[in-house]
Structure 1
Amino acid sequence: MLRAGEDLFQVEERLWVLTAPTGQGIYDFGFDRFFPCRRPYQLPESLEVVARVGVWNDYAERHRELASEGVRLVHSPEQHLLATELPHWYPRLTDLTPRSVWYDERPDAKTVEDALGWPVFVKGERQTSRHRKSLSIIEGPEQFELAMAAYAKDPILHWQRVVCRELRPLRRVEEGAPDRIPSSFEFRTFWWRGELVGWGPYWWQGSPYTMNELEQREALALGRDVARRVDVPFLVVDVAQEVSGRWIVIECNDGQESGYAGVSPFALWRNILELERAR
């Protein structure tokens, strides 16, 4: 049932977790160091599990394999796609996020220009390639064609559908490295069964920034609305503020696959355990 490197255990007799190390400090978390964990000799006939193993490119197949052993991942394959891929969550959030189009085949510049004009923000349906500005913020047709040639060879992007989005004027935090997307006033929020369990700055490695009371109230209200609309058990919502002061949704993700960014993992799991205790 378990693949190489995977570990299955129960945290505080409340929450089953399936983990595997990824080597990424922004993602890995040593549950045993902070919470009582047990690995029973015999598993129950049926249990619900949160996976923290990184990204499964075969999520549906892994879901089927585990289900055959009585282990049910917290997200069905359909819920996983709804939380993870923009073409699935975007239709529920069109009024809260930049206008977007996506393509099964890499489009030419004229097609994108007719749909959105220039400039545009370009990404894979799941993610960018290491936040590279040259492959994301596209000013015109020549740069777009160069980006598409790079997408065809990029190990992160070549298998993803291409998403093109209206480029919105975001409040900047810092410019960052020459070929990195500028850091905006953006925050990562985690939602467990519709309840907020953690939030923090998305650009956690650069200049420190945080929200005041009004900004926090507005940003988290937006996140809560998204969690209600998308309606999956473990959702990540990234929100950012435009220069106008308006808050928008940058993207959604499956909480099982998402890095913590500036969110405290201990506080996050502590909050999840408290909610599970109250169920």
Structure 2
Amino acid sequence: MIVLVPGDPLRPRRPDEHFAAEADAARAAGLDVAVVDHDALATPDGARRAVARVPEGTGTAVYRGWMLPAGHYPAFAAALAARGVTLRTGPGQYRQAHELPGWYPALAAVTPASAWTTGDDRDGFDRAAATLGPGPAVLRDYTKSMKHHWHEAAYIPDLADTAAAWTVASRFRELRDDDFTGGFVLRRFEPFGTAEVRTWWRGGACRLIGPHPDTPHDAPPAGLDLSTVAPLVAALDLPFVTVDLALRTDGEWRVIELGDGQVSDRPSTVDPGTFVTAVL
């Protein structure tokens, strides 16, 4: 297997500094490592140029890098396939894990109730709000929230106040700008009493439990019970994902997010060697 990481923009033959430690750990574990040009991947026709430094015929690949729009991933996979390299996560699997509408139905029982739109028009937003019903909600798009702009672009105190809700949505859309993905997603607000925990899953089994990258020094609790979540994640049949959880104030663990493991950040407090051994 070969691990693909973004190249340093100034020294393109070397891994980007953010992923250099993982690249070193992968080599130490006996894995091949190659760099790709992430800037080229982010353009509609740059995939072949992006993978030019990947050795031909090297078999199965796992990408560990910056987030890619799901619409760009098929070209990435096709450019690698032309060089005899197959991404372990296929384009359909990547979209399913990367965008909330892909994974939500399978995890609906263990995650906040959600409704979403296709596109960013007001009518669709109002229909999604009516589907979820009155009460507080958290806003995001298919891939990301603006939780660091909580009161202006994430938290909606009451969806029944349609004008105020649309003000939050408009500000969210403005801040996301060209990165806005898919449509608006409204999620029922639930009160949580702990920092999030990031769990890493390979082949449908949890391989590593650690803190969330936003709170790297908040260690996860010992004996985290994943018995309810595990069969639901396994049933998705996705090769490499992360599942972020938090403890609701009533004592129930809830899924906050599922993401593709290739583009999920490793917390700074998780040793790169431990990480590579566990998940790659």
Normalised by the size of structure 1, how large is the TM-score?
Answer: 0.76
Could you tell me the percent identity over the aligned residues? 24
Displacement of 1:115 after TM fit?
1.8
Which residue number corresponds to residue 128 of structure 1?
145
Superposition pairs of residues 182-197 of structure 1, within 5 angstroms = 184-197=194-207
Equivalenced residues, count: 243
Contact 2:201–2:207 under 8 Å retained in 1: yes
| Secondary structure at 2:146 match in 1 | coil
1:92 aligned residue (95, 106, 121): 106
Question: How far apart in 1 are the matches of 2:8 and 2:253?
Answer: 32
The superposition leaves residues 199-247 of structure 1 with CA deviations (integer Å, 9 ceiling, x where unpaired) of 212264476343133xx1x1x3344234302211111111111111111
**Aligned with 2:233 (options 227, 238, 241):** 227
Q: Among residues 44, 67, 79, which one is paired with 1:55 in the alignment?
A: 67
Cα RMSD (Å) of the superposition?
A: 3.0
Question: 1: CA distance between counterparts of 2:184 and 2:251?
Answer: 29
Contact kept, 8 Å, 2:246 with 2:254, in 1: the verdict is yes
1:156–1:166 CA distance, 2 compared to 1 (3 A): farther
Relative to structure 1, the CA distance from residue 30 to residue 203 in structure 2 (aligned partners, 3 Å threshold; closer, same or farther) is closer
Distance between the aligned counterparts of 2:17 and 2:229, measured in 1? 21
- Alignment check: 8 A CA contact 1:26 1:260 kept: no
Question: Within 5 Å, which residues of 2 pair with 1:97-176?
Answer: 97-106=111-120, 107-108=122-123, 110-116=126-132, 117-129=134-146, 131-134=148-151, 135-140=153-158, 141-153=162-174, 154-155=176-177, 157-171=179-193
1:208 maps to which of 198, 202, 218:
218
1:16 equivalent in structure 2: 2
Residues 223, 239 of structure 1: 8 Å contact kept: no
| Structure with the larger helix share | 2
Unaligned runs of 5+ in 1: 1-14, 172-183, 274-279
Deviations 1:105-145 (A, max 9, x none): 33456434422212111101111136321211111334322
5+ residue gaps, structure 2, are 10-15, 35-52
Residue 249 (structure 2) pairs with residue 243 (structure 1): yes
Partner of 1:66: 80
2-structure distance, mates of 1:110, 1:38: 50
Amino acid at match of 2:256: I
CA distance in 2, matches of 1:136, 1:205: 19
Per-residue deviation, 1:46 = 5.3
TM-score (norm 2): 0.75
Looking at structure 2, the residues matched to 86 and 205 of structure 1 have their Cα atoms a distance apart, in angstroms, of 22
